Structures are given as C-alpha cells and as structure tokens.
Amino acid sequence: MKAENARQIKELIELEKFNPETLCSGESWMVPSASEIGLVRALIHLTDIQLANRLDVDERTIRKWKSGQTRMVFTTWCCLCWLAGLGMLLEEPA
C-alpha cells in the first residue's frame, strides 16, 4: 500500500467522506458510491481510456462508474484499489 494514498484514504474515513467497509473483503464488503469511486479513481494516474484498457472495459463504463449510473462489482473494485496503491482487498491481513 502506498503510504501517501493510505494516509489520504484514512483522513477521508475519519472525516466520514469514505466508507471503510468498501475496503473490506468477503461478506462485509459494501459497494462503493460514485463519490468513493471518484476518490479512488483520482489516485490513479491514468486517463479514462488507459484505465478502461487496463481493466478490459469500455471507456463508457468508466464514466458510468464515476457518475453512479452503474454499480461496480467487487473484483473490479479490488483492481481499482490495487491500481490506486491501496493494496488488494482479497488479501487477508497479516
């Protein structure tokens, strides 16, 4: 996990602007909101088309996630968090 990105997310959690349950793995995971997707997306230094290619989705899908028009599934959220330097949600804590 990138320390700077982790610090930013921790601050947002403390300010109640980011739901920490979106970072849980397994049954306690909650679907991220459009604003939470936007916050994590902002940590990724790729264009929407580069991100779409990396995730093997259409660029329109990226825009729909950001607008809240389409829900993000757990595995894609895991990949987005990993690309943002937040680690993989599927990993069990050490």
**Residue 91 domain-assigned?**
no
The confidence score (pLDDT) of residue 1 equals: 60
DSSP 8-state assignment for residue 20: G
Spatial contact of 36 and 19, defined as CB atoms under 8 Å apart? yes
The confidence score (pLDDT) of residue 90 equals: 53
pLDDT tier, 67 (very low <50, low <70, confident <90, very high otherwise): very high
Q: CA-CA distances (angstroms) from residue 13 to 17, 26, 39, 69? A: 6, 20, 11, 24
Spatial contact of 76 and 48, defined as CB atoms under 8 Å apart? no
What's this model's pTM, rounded to 2 decimal places? 0.83
**Residue 65 domain-assigned?**
yes
Residue 43 structural domain: 3-84
**Residue 56 domain-assigned?**
yes
Q: How many domains does the chain have?
A: 1
Give yes or no for residue 88 having a pLDDT over 90: no
pLDDT tens-digit map of 5-59: 888 888 999 999 999 899 887 788 899 999 999 999 999 999 999 999 999 999 9
| CATH code of residue 73 | 1.10.260
**Residue 49 domain-assigned?**
yes
